């Protein structure tokens, strides 16, 4: 069974605070790890594609790290803003994308 787990399932953060959440995935047969941001009623937006152990990627206030040996990735958001409210999905790629259930992030003004 190929399981991708995200934690926490939901998160409320005060505006201006920083936060992070986790994606756990099988450490074998790893090709890539994808992060998406999915706002309600919109299309999931690709944030990062990570392929190498130790990868760190950054896009504005959002960054991600990757540990393929232990099978986890962290997504960090620095100085949260209301527009960061969304569900953040990770997907582990073997022969296909296997998605986690997402972390639903709400930023309180």
57 touches other proteins by CB under 8 A: no
Backbone CA torsion sign across 100, 34, 69, 29:
positive
1 touches other proteins by CB under 8 A: no
CA dist., res. 30 & res. 72, Å (int)? 11
Which residues pair with residue 107 across a beta bridge?
13
Candidates 16-24, 35-43, 57-65, 70-78: pick the segment binding other proteins (CB under 8 A): 35-43
Residues of this chain that bind other proteins (CB under 8 A): 4, 31-32, 34, 36, 41-44, 46, 49, 89, 91, 93, 96-102
């Amino acid at each position: 069974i190929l399981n991708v787990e995200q934690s926490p399932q939901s998160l409320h953060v005060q505006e201006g605070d920083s936060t992070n959440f986790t994606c756990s995935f099988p450490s074998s047969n790893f090709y890539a790890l994808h992060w998406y941001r999915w706002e309600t009623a919109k299309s999931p937006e690709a944030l990062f594609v990570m392929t190498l152990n130790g990868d760190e990627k950054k896009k504005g206030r959002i960054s991600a790290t990757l540990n393929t040996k232990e099978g986890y990735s962290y997504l960090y958001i620095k100085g949260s803003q209301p527009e960061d409210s969304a569900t953040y999905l990770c997907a582990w790629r073997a022969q296909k994308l296997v998605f986690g259930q997402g972390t639903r992030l709400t930023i309180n003004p």
